[in-house]
Chains A and B, each alone.
Chain A
Amino acid sequence: MNALPIELYLGLSAIIFCIGALGVIFRRNAIIIFMSIELMLNSVNLTFITFSRYLGEQTGQIFVLFVMAVAAAESAIGLAIILALFRRKQTVYVDEVNLLKN
């Protein structure tokens, strides 16, 4: 069974990471920023799995398991923060939140 070169997978992962980073920086909606962070985490997972397949090594897959667990914890906390923010300020746009500015 022939396989594809890893450069294809790494390139795809880099493109998805760039899209996620641009989303984090240019969007104002906190929920979309949160989803862009998930995109970036997923592209890193893709890199781990690519190298795990390339080296024939299982450790990369274990790393992905832990990244998934941390992403689940992060999503619970992040969404709770967004909920609390909406209760206090009635907005989810990050540029309208300046509680700590003055």
Chain B
Amino acid sequence: MELQLISFIILGIIAIASALSTVLNRHPIYSAMSLILHFFALAGIYLTLQSQFIAVLQILVYAGAIMVLVVFVIMLLNLNEEEKRKLIVQSRHSFGIIIVAIFAIMLVVYLTTGVFHYPNEGDFSTMFGAKALGDLLFKQHLAAFEVVGILLLAAIIGAMVMAKKKLID
């Protein structure tokens, strides 16, 4: 219990701090680096939930593949630091303010009612392992798996068409 709580608090603080630094940094390459840190912290949080397969996949797919692509594009574009500009709250920002207000109210209600739900005790690590998940994926969700393959193929072709030198007008 103690170890789990301590590791959750440390990883949670790292996750929130690196998420804030992702959003607030003015140069995109620093944002990308803190986003990688955020993905690693989130993988650690998945480990405290006994989901080691998803944690490994998080590091492989997000911190590996997606962030390499993002850093590659940032270097390709050779961007400068964004200049400081006075923030003017416009009407289109009200959506974000409403979302944050709703979530803040939810958090306060959660933490003040003091009713906490504890998950089932026990060892779920074999159930959330690669073998059991692969069994489920290829037996019950085979159609969805194939559709995701088609989606990825379409995305690759679309990205190639989009990134070509001459866009067809």
Chain A residues with CB under 8 Å of chain B are 1-12, 14-29, 31-32, 34-36, 38-39, 42, 45-46, 49-50, 52-56, 58-59, 61-62, 64-66, 68-77, 79-84, 86-88, 92-93
- In chain B, positions 87-139 with a C-beta closer than 8 Å to chain A are 87, 92-93, 95-96, 99-100, 103-104, 106-107, 110-111, 116-124, 127-128, 132-133, 136-137
- Taken together as a complex, chains A and B put the C-alpha atoms of A84 and B141 apart, in Å, by 36
Query: B10 on the interface (CB 8 Å rule)?
Result: no
Task: Tell me whether A7 and B110 are in contact in the complex, defined as CB-CB below 8 angstroms, given that A61-B51, A76-B69 are known contacts.
Answer: yes
| Partner-A contacts on B (CB < 8 A) | 1, 4-5, 8, 12, 15-16, 19-20, 22-23, 25, 28, 31-32, 35, 38-39, 42, 45-46, 48-51, 53-54, 57-58, 61-62, 65-66, 69-70, 73-74, 76-77, 79, 82, 85, 87, 92-93, 95-96, 99-100, 103-104, 106-107, 110-111, 116-124, 127-128, 132-133, 136-137, 141, 144, 148, 151-152, 154-156, 158-160, 162-163, 165, 167
Pull 24 A–B residue pairs with CB atoms less than 8 Å apart, ordered by A. A1-B122, A2-B1, A4-B4, A8-B8, A8-B12, A11-B107, A18-B100, A25-B92, A29-B82, A36-B22, A38-B62, A45-B54, A46-B42, A50-B49, A52-B128, A53-B51, A53-B128, A54-B119, A56-B127, A62-B137, A71-B61, A80-B162, A81-B162, A83-B163
* Contact residues of B: prevailing secondary structure: helix
Residues of B within 8 A of A65 (CB): 54, 57, 133, 137
Q: Are A14 and B103 in contact (CB under 8 A)?
A: yes
Contact (Cβ within 8 A) B95 A25: yes
Residues A54 and B117 in contact, CB atoms below 8 Å apart: yes
Asked if residues A38 and B49 are in contact (CB atoms below 8 Å), the reply is no
**Per DSSP, are chain A's interface residues mostly helix, strand or loop, or mixed?**
helix
Q: Are B96 and A21 in contact (CB under 8 A)?
A: yes
Question: In the bound complex, how far is the Cα of B128 from the Cα of A27, in angstroms?
Answer: 37
Kindly identify which residue among B46, B107, B122 contacts A14, using a CB–CB cutoff of 8 Å. Answer: B107
- Picked from A5, A9, A62, A79, the residue with its CB within 8 Å of the CB of B49 is A9
The 4 A-B residue pairs with the shortest CB-CB distance, nearest first, are: A73-B155, A5-B116, A25-B96, A23-B23
The answer for the CA separation of A21 and B1 in the assembled complex, in Å, is 33
A36 touches B53 (CB 8 A): no
Given contacts A4-B4, A35-B70, 10 further A-B contacts (CB under 8 A): A4-B48, A12-B16, A14-B103, A35-B35, A49-B46, A52-B128, A56-B119, A61-B51, A65-B137, A80-B163
